Amino acid sequence: MLKLHRTAFAVLAVIAFVLPNARAQQPAAPVPVSAEDYVRAHYTKYEFRIPMRDGKRLFTAVYVPKATSFPADRGPYPILMDRTPYSVAPYGEDQYPPRLGPSDEFEKAGYIFVYQDVRGRWMSEGDFLEMRPHIDVKKSAQDVDDASDTYDTIDFLLKNVANNNGKVGIWGISYPGFFTSASIIDSHPALVAASPQAPMTDLFMGDDGYHGGAFMLSANFGFYSSFKPSQNPETPKPGVRFDFGTPDSYRFYLQAGSLAGMDKFYLKDANWLYNDQMRHDTYDAYWKARDLSQHMKNVHCAVLVVGGWFDAEDLSGPYRTFYAINKFNPGTTTTLVEGPWVHGGWSRGDGSHLGDVQFNANTSVYFRANIQFPFFEHYLKGKGAALPKAVVFETGANVWHNLDAWPPKAATPKTLYFHAGGKLSFAPPEEAKSADEYVSDPSHPVPFVGYTTDTVPQRYMVDDQRFASTRPDVLVYETEPLEEDVTIAGPISPKLTVASTGTDSDFDVKLIDVYPNNYPDPDSTMNGNKRILDGPPLHMGGYQQLLRGEPFRAKFRNSWEKPEPLTPGKQTAIGYTMPDLYHTFRRGHRIMVQVQSSWFPVTDRNPQTFTDIPNARPEDFQKATEQVFHQKDAASGVEVLVLP
């Protein structure tokens, strides 16, 4: 669960000069000017402790352009905010960061930048709550949430920061994305533009905490081993990364035992934030109160919702936010942007590739210069034109699209059906009886990558799945080579008919693009596909590129609130929806679907007995034989939206 802080990118300015006596002196060597020096030279920093309506004060750093910084634009300037739980460091009015704003374009365009420690974090007063629940009806000054904190902050800034133009924008990525979304509910009249990016929206329903009822083990443990409650007011201290004692996270988590035991022995019961995530393993009142999508009302500002097709942390949050704003605020201008990015990947790098997969375009650079910057310029300064309803990148074909709706109106549902012999096609099965089976063993779970790692590498979202397709506990269904392109756009919905000898099981479904065998190998000098020089060569022929993969815990098949055991041997329908995608399977490629019952340690192990999983005992973990049916009266497949 990677929650992004403001990333720092150094900017190098070179000053060269020639002394008058050129004969006696050679030109002086270039003198590097740091990015921090650039910010210091062009902005004046102020620090405020802004009072909230309940009397608590939130620490806020404000950077105002100097009178001589932008001769062509002397203001007044709009305010652009970022509210974060990760600290607004550096602290002190004589201390400056290496960059300001969402990207380099803003720093040189004339903005007042505001960064705020949210309530209860670092130098801000109050108590911190994980994804503080929104209060729809506030009955007193003590009823505070992130919407009211933002409202009070904006009110203060407009009155106390000179040379502002009365317009405010806000943006944030991941956890700051949540604070951005929360800030625009019942929004202040001066807040005219907001960009929640990879916003945490509902941690149980597909964001960082749980996917399909399965606990996102590696990401959660990795995050909460370092993200801990702060004893505010205090400034951050250098952190120490958790020592796994091995570079192999698969081995570490397999030997660690139950989730509760991991907390007891490794985190020492010291982080109630991890405990909350781990122990609330059904969709109970704790999670329901934190589903921000149910409160996205009275949003009056223009909204740019940003996500990445391959975001391993907050994949569903952008869609839930986008749909909720449209539902509750039909008159509000809202744009969805989705590109071929990992978590926050649009804010850094060029976005030309992910792992071994090339996109043939600098997608992140394009977003920053041609989407994000013009959005804020339009609403905060009145420049340029508004964006369409959706700006999305089509992978496979590798092109951008401006759309008037998402999903595209022309997309229609079609199902990729499983057939005997590992076949996959859009034709439904005709067999009277047909099924495949495999044995799922929690002691030997299917790994989520084919290499050793002690983290969750973001590239795994497009990694080669050939390592998994050869395992006996993974079912593989594949089309013939496509005779023409097939383009899907929208959510992906597995619909399975299964049976298990266990009383609970996971069913992980992966949608995969299989490259032709004669696909050219990459040039080893290409940056995007560069491998370690002394490592094995990369062969893209036959590459099985993961496009989308999600687990589903069978005990939640009828209710997220009240799980039910499976009846061993009984046919059961499993249906769920995976986050959206816009991808073209090119002519000559194949479409593949893999089905398995573990995906470790990206998700925790299902004991395959109906039990309290966080406290499961070793004897609770049992092998189970899983059946997947593909017959006329019990079909299995994956529904996708296909463009003509």
Chain segment 8-25, per-residue pLDDT in tens: 323 223 222 222 232 233
Global confidence as pTM:
0.91
**Residue 17, in any domain of the structure:** yes
HEC-encoded secondary structure of 509-567: EEEEEECCCCCCCCCCCCCCCCCCCCCCCCCCCCCEEEEEEECCEHHHCCCCCCCCCCC
Picking from 403, 429, 453, the residue at the C-terminal end of a domain is 403
Q: How many C-beta atoms lie closer than 10 Å to residue 571's C-beta?
A: 13
Res. 321 pLDDT band, cuts 50 70 90 = very high
Name which of 119, 582, 106 is nearest 363 in CA terms.
582
Picking from 403, 435, 455, the residue at the C-terminal end of a domain is 403
Which helix (H) or strand (E) segment holds residue 377: the answer is helix 373-381
Q: Are residues 512 and 422 in the same domain?
A: yes
Name which of 413, 473, 404 is nearest 441 in CA terms.
473
More confident residue, 333 or 228: 333
* Pairwise CA distance, residues 541 & 519, whole Å: 4
pLDDT at 536: 61
pLDDT at 29: 42
Which helix (H) or strand (E) segment holds residue 274: the answer is helix 272-279
**Residue 234, in any domain of the structure:** no
If 0-12 CB within 10 Å is exposed, 13-18 middle and 19+ buried, where does residue 67 land? Answer: exposed
User: What are the backbone angles phi and psi of residue 39, rounded to the nearest 5°?
Assistant: -60, -45
**Residue 283, in any domain of the structure:** no
As beta bridge partners, residue 638 has: 416, 494
Res. 4 pLDDT band, cuts 50 70 90 = very low
Q: Are residues 436 and 458 in the same domain?
A: yes
Residue with tokens 């700006």: 391
Q: Are residues 397 and 462 in the same domain?
A: no
Q: Are residues 454 and 373 in the same domain?
A: no
Q: Are residues 386 and 442 in the same domain?
A: no
Assigned token pair, 94: 């004589």
* Pairwise CA distance, residues 615 & 286, whole Å: 19
**Residue 244, in any domain of the structure:** no
As beta bridge partners, residue 488 has: 583, 642
* Pairwise CA distance, residues 62 & 293, whole Å: 30
**What CATH number does the domain containing 584 carry?**
2.60.120.260
φ/ψ region of 186 (left if φ > 0, alpha if ψ in -120 to 50, else beta) reads left
Picking from 340, 370, 403, the residue at the C-terminal end of a domain is 403
**Residue 282, in any domain of the structure:** no
Q: Are residues 419 and 563 in the same domain?
A: yes
Structural domain containing residue 638: 412-642
Chain segment 335-347, per-residue pLDDT in tens: 999 999 999 999 9
Q: Are residues 193 and 49 in the same domain?
A: yes
What crossing angle do the helices spanning 217-224 and 272-279 adopt, rounded to 10°? Answer: 160
Q: Are residues 447 and 338 in the same domain?
A: no
Assigned token pair, 122: 């670092």
**Residue 262, in any domain of the structure:** no
**Residue 581, in any domain of the structure:** yes
More confident residue, 6 or 630: 630
Q: Is the pLDDT of residue 381 over 70?
A: yes
pLDDT at 496: 98
Q: Are residues 393 and 427 in the same domain?
A: no
More confident residue, 27 or 429: 429
pLDDT at 344: 96
Q: How many C-beta atoms lie closer than 10 Å to residue 489's C-beta?
A: 23
State the amino acid at position 364 in one-letter form.
Answer: S
Which helix (H) or strand (E) segment holds residue 335: the answer is strand 334-339
pLDDT at 372: 98
In percent, the amount of the chain with pLDDT more than 70 equals 92
Name which of 510, 500, 499 is nearest 474 in CA terms.
510
Chain segment 567-625, per-residue pLDDT in tens: 999 999 999 999 999 999 999 999 999 999 999 999 999 999 999 999 999 999 999 99
Mean pLDDT of the chain: 91
* Pairwise CA distance, residues 323 & 326, whole Å: 5
Q: How many domains does the chain have?
A: 2
* Pairwise CA distance, residues 406 & 393, whole Å: 12
Q: Are residues 319 and 187 in the same domain?
A: yes
**Residue 78, in any domain of the structure:** yes
Whether 625 contacts 497, CB under 8 Å: no
Q: Are residues 385 and 429 in the same domain?
A: no
Chain segment 122-165, per-residue pLDDT in tens: 999 999 999 999 999 999 999 999 999 999 999 999 999 999 99
- Half-sphere exposure of residue 359: CA atoms within 13 angstroms, side-chain side: 24
Residue-wise burial string across 432-450, b where 16 or more C-beta atoms lie within 10 A, e elsewhere: eebbbebebbbeebbbbbe
**What CATH number does the domain containing 375 carry?**
3.40.50.1820
State the amino acid at position 39 in one-letter form.
Answer: V
**What stretches of 129-208 show up as alpha helix (H) in DSSP?**
146-160, 175-183
Chain segment 396-446, per-residue pLDDT in tens: 999 999 999 999 999 999 999 999 999 999 999 999 999 999 999 999 999
Assigned token pair, 88: 């607004």
**Is the bond into 97 cis (omega within 30 degrees of 0)?**
no
Q: Are residues 333 and 448 in the same domain?
A: no
Q: How many C-beta atoms lie closer than 10 Å to residue 21's C-beta?
A: 7
pLDDT at 419: 98
**Is the bond into 199 cis (omega within 30 degrees of 0)?**
no
End-to-end CA, the chain: 37
